[in-house]
Amino acid sequence: MNRASLMIVAEAILIASTYFALTWILAPISFLPFQVRFSDSLIMLSAVFGEAAAWGVFLGCIIANCFPVGYPPNIIDVVFGSLANLISGYVVMALTRRYSRIRLIAASLISSLIVTIIVGTYLPIIILPKFTVKDILFLGYLGVLPGELVAQAVLGVWLVEGIRKLLPKMVRR
């Protein structure tokens, strides 16, 4: 394994462990139907660290969703929540390939919608014994979207802008 590949793996592991730690420390608000998963702000690091961040949030979400608080682990949550993060990470990478603040904000909004649609669709199904389309719309989408916007469009954009300003040599993209 060459040095560049090793750096990507190391960064992915660091991001994964940070994702898990943030999710677990903030578990009371990370696993509810109305959730603010602050660790999802790390999805936006794909604009700075590229695929290391995308794979890091994917792995971190797998680990975090294996240890939820308030309900037992659910394979649907582990698989689809993690895939939502991976897809979002790659979308952020693609949209910020040519970097601008407007592209970063647009990427955060689209990424928030991706996570909301995927997670918001299955969350009521795994939490409620019986569910309706209204539950998916209200508990799922309206429960997840505000938290995703806070995590990604506010914290994530702030995080990326701060890294780009404070650590310009760390930015590979």
Q: Give the pLDDT band (50/70/90) at residue 4.
A: confident
Domain limits for position 126 = 3-170
* Mean pLDDT (whole number) for 18-40: 93
Q: Mean pLDDT of all residues in the chain?
A: 93
C-beta separation of 60 from 17 below 8 A: yes
Q: Give the pLDDT band (50/70/90) at residue 134.
A: confident
pLDDT for 12 beyond 90:
yes
Q: Give the pLDDT band (50/70/90) at residue 132.
A: confident
Check residues 162 and 136 and name the one with the higher pLDDT: 162
Q: Give the pLDDT band (50/70/90) at residue 172.
A: low
- The CATH number linked to 78 is 1.10.1760.20
* Mean pLDDT (whole number) for 50-71: 94
> Closest Cα partner for 30 from 67, 74, 5?
67
pLDDT for 38 beyond 80:
yes
CA dist., res. 131 & res. 29, Å (int): 22
The pTM of this model reads 0.93
Check residues 170 and 144 and name the one with the higher pLDDT: 144
CA dist., res. 113 & res. 68, Å (int): 22
What is the helix, strand, coil percentage profile of the chain, to 5? 80, 0, 20
C-beta separation of 48 from 168 below 8 A: no
pLDDT for 129 beyond 80:
yes
Give the model confidence (pLDDT) of 76-128 as tens digits: 999 999 999 999 999 999 999 999 999 999 999 999 999 999 999 998 888 88
Q: How many domains does the chain have?
A: 1
* Mean pLDDT (whole number) for 21-50: 94
| Token couple for 87 | 């897809």
